[in-house]
Amino acid sequence: MLSTKKIILGLSGGIAAYKSINLIRLLIKSGAEVRVICTKNALNFVTKVTLESISKNKVYCDVFEENNDYATEHVALTDWGDICIVAPATANIIGKYAGGIADDALSTSLLAFNKPVFMAPAMNCKMWDNFSVQRNCSYLKANGVYFIEPTEGFLACGYEGKGRMAEPEDIVNFISNLLTQSACLYGYKALVTAGPTHEAIDPVRFIGNHASGKMGFAIAEALALKGADVTLVCGPVNINTSNHHIKRIDVVSSDDMFNACMDLFPSMNVCIMAAAVADFKPQTTASKKLKKGQNDMLSLEMVQTKDILRNLGNIKKPGQILVGFALETDNEIENARKKLLSKNLDFVVLNSLKDKGAGFGYDTNKISIISAGDVLNFDLKTKKEASEDIVNNFCKILLK
């Protein structure tokens, strides 16, 4: 349900604005608080008095109106709201939003709003089919805006076709389903690391490992699917990601990864360290390529790398969730428990090298999740499924 959600309802100028009165009523009935921002054209279809009486809040319409509570009402309201619904969304407001235009209260607020936006379009069917409108909708969808598709039927303009705004009940159901089930990590910021690190010996050689990055990438995708805003810090890997909710930062060495993670972690809600960070690196990196010369042997002095997870555990604040991986060969659970405590983690994802099909290079993984009071054992699954198990586990912690 939408209980305790703060909702900004944007109304643009279409005949379907009359249905939005009922939408406000249903949103309030399901426990939400609603504030309305409307375009001047919307007020040709419904009155400000009606909107204010139903929403029980002042309606914001004119950026320069003198009796606004704040000089920058659009920013104040966008800080307040958890989600924004534009219903009805005309071709004009869709086009302005896609084009980054801010020339009235609603379009300005939309650009300042960095949380989930839902659009319920309503327009003539020929306008809806127009290539330009469709391009704008595709662009907005690709950037994470949710569309509650218009339905087919008789339109106010006399045409019959697709363009009727979805019914208020359907809009409320769509949003509450999305927020409660699939998108339970909306508004959460997640840091994920993936892949190996390369520790330079000289300008052309490095010490690395066989990590493919598949597990970390799958976790990043699973988090993004649940609505989280993900930053993926990855070592050298051959994987692409096109998900617009995943911001990718490529690094090479353990020091690069350390700096990136220490920088990012304070602003994150969760961090999952799935990278196979090198434990040792050459003490010095030769500035020129090492030549064979007369030597049969080459010795490298190695020093320990910084333990990123331990350092993150040291600066972890209450409410932040930190997850580590452990690859063990013996006394798996006991060792994982030690890691949990010594690195101040919320849980450890354990891979045992004894399990066939698990770990490096495989598309499958067999994991156990070790937390303070619990050991959860999972079957051998695809890395995608295993990543969903991991993400579901901390959804349980975050949302309890």
- Residue ranges binding ligand CTP (CB under 6 A): 254, 273, 275, 277, 279, 305, 307-309, 324-327, 339
Smallest CA-to-CA distance from 20 within 40, 49, 46 is with 46
Nearer Cβ to ligand CTP, position 34 or 349?
A: 349
157 in catalytic set: yes
Shortest distance, position 192 Cβ to ligand CTP, whole Å: 11
Nearer Cβ to ligand CTP, position 84 or 219?
A: 219
Nearer Cβ to ligand CTP, position 34 or 261?
A: 261
For CA atoms 350, 356, 361, 366, the dihedral sign is negative
Backbone angles phi, psi at 366, to 5 degrees: -120, 115
Shortest distance, position 49 Cβ to ligand CTP, whole Å: 59
Shortest distance, position 338 Cβ to ligand CTP, whole Å: 9
Catalytic annotation, pick one of 61, 84, 137, 157:
157
In this structure, what token pair is assigned to residue 84? 């924004």
Beta bridge partners of 118: 85, 146
Shortest distance, position 161 Cβ to ligand CTP, whole Å: 54
Residue 190 CA: distances (Å) to CA of 218, 325, 347, 379: 13, 16, 15, 26
In this structure, what token pair is assigned to residue 148? 């509650």
Nearer Cβ to ligand CTP, position 166 or 370?
A: 370
Bridge-based pairing of strands 160-164 and 189-194 is unpaired
Shortest distance, position 194 Cβ to ligand CTP, whole Å: 9
- Tokens 């990855």 — which residue? 234
Nearer Cβ to ligand CTP, position 327 or 398?
A: 327
Active-site residue set: 157
